Structure 1
Amino acid sequence: MNDDLKFIIDSTKEDMEKAIKHLEKKLINIRAGKASPAMLSGVMVDYYGSPTPLNQVGNVNTPDARTISIQPFEKSMIQEIEKAIMNANLGFNPMNNGESVIINVPPLTEERRKELAKQAKNEAEESKIGVRNDRKNANQEIKKLEDASEDLKKNAEIDVQNLTDKYIAKIDEVYAAKEVEIMKV
């Protein structure tokens, strides 16, 4: 196989791998019943006028499966942290005890579980679209090559299709695992 074709296939594989990593990162943010600091990863706190990620203004812990505790680095930030959590619209009701912000994570209703499973499925579909776009781009690059024979180009396209099938199956596996986690009571 010529070097250009090998490069195209390798870079396509890298791009498809990134689609899987992106999906995994997105799915971490979809809550599945038990408390996790990742649930608050998108929360931005107004820290003296500039939006700052929550984990940079306090320690975020999960003392048990139903509680998230935020210990601010500065006590004066407690109200700002509470306001930021409310504004993030995550469905949490933060409380403070003067020292830290405590969030009791309510158990998911059946309806909410189905909603979250649907959201996870949409993320999986987005990743599949990304993988298919990577395939399309690779095939276009292969067709543009002038110093490769038609047979080599056809074989490279088959390799790209095999990669696509492999990564689509991997996306389905990741989604299936997340769906089981979400639906488990």
Structure 2
Amino acid sequence: MPDPTTAERIVLAARELLEREGVGAVSMRRVGDAVGITPMAIYRHFPDREALLQRISDDAFGEIARQWAAASRKGTPLARLLAVHRNYLDYALAHPHLFDYVFSSAHTGTRQFPEDMRAHRSPTLNVVADLVQAAMDEGVLRRDDVWEIVMTFWAHSHGLIALYRAGRFSYDAPAFRHFYDASLRRLIDGLKA
């Protein structure tokens, strides 16, 4: 495998800072120090900090979309929906600062419901929409607006994760996973045909 380019090293250093300390820690000076270049040299690759952070966000969305696509290939439609949402929780717990930035912060390029979702501009939620549509087509979930159901799933999962990350549950991670799974199953039961 070839050595990473300077731009790739910049992105990697910025992502490591973000993952370790949060988005506020990502400064051109700190990234430059981590890469061994001057902060001004970063501007040859990224016009500004926002562009660098956008690249990290885009890369994270691509990474998550690939994980979700892989998780969505095995089992019944409902098992695949659960697998994707379990992966969402796994990602949030493994990459809390990155998760917060990508999924909970307003920034340039943030996709919006309904226009962007209905136009299939979300690499992650497109996977969920395909699963919801398949479940409806197979008669497992009752017919409804696919994208509104997708947003219901996302709001449910994201809300629980955000509450957990904010310390609103006394559960440890395994107990929260159990609660999260049971809660998703209740949601699915309410949507069944």
Same-fold call, TM > 0.5?
A: no
Q: TM-score, normalised by structure 2?
A: 0.27
Q: TM-score, normalised by structure 1?
A: 0.28
The structure where helix makes up a greater share of residues is 2
Greater RCO structure (CA 8 Å; 6+ sep) = 1
Which of the two has higher C-alpha Rg?
1
The structure where strand makes up a greater share of residues is 1
